[in-house]
Amino acid sequence: MTLKSALQDVKETTLAAVSGLLGKLAYLASLRHARGRYEHWGMELIHGPEGSERALKTAHAEIVAGVLRTPLASLVEDLDESSRGSGVAAQAYVEGMRDHLEDLLPGERLDSPAASHLSSVLLALSSLERNRGRATRSIS
């Protein structure tokens, strides 16, 4: 049996089961609870609370960085994939993310450059999705 590091386990097992980059971001945000602590019982069982916490926080930071580096056109496609994977309409999905911006940030303050950038990306996705919906209705 090959032993994986906690970070490898998060990336290769836990996050591999989640659709889309935005889906992974929303999932990691959902694991953060009181006082910003991450809780994942399976990870904690295997890697201990501290190892699990470090791995989840690192993965969360990497996913945020990935979202911020991804071209908007690719994120529009990713939004479709992520929202489909969760069973929520794309517009509602991105609005839900916008409503929980603070949770999407692994420890950054809301006035940080990363927070501003992520907020802008989510606003752009929301606007594009809303306009795409209007264009589809006007063509039909």
Q: Could you read off the pLDDT of 52-94 as tens digits, one per residue?
A: 999 999 999 999 999 999 999 999 999 999 999 999 999 999 9
Asked whether the beta carbons of 59 and 98 are under 8 A apart, the reply is no
Scan for tokens 């490898």, then name that residue.
8
Single-letter amino acid code for the residue at 18:
V
Return the minimum-mean-pLDDT range out of 8-12, 33-37, 128-132.
33-37
pTM tops 0.75, yes or no: yes
Handedness of CA 77, 6, 35, 111 (dihedral sign): negative
The sign of the CA dihedral 10, 11, 16, 19 is positive
Residue ranges per structural domain of the chain: 6-139
In angstroms, the first-to-last Cα distance of the chain is: 56
Task: Assess whether pLDDT exceeds 60 at residue 138.
Answer: no
Euclidean distance between CA atoms 138 and 5, whole angstroms: 51
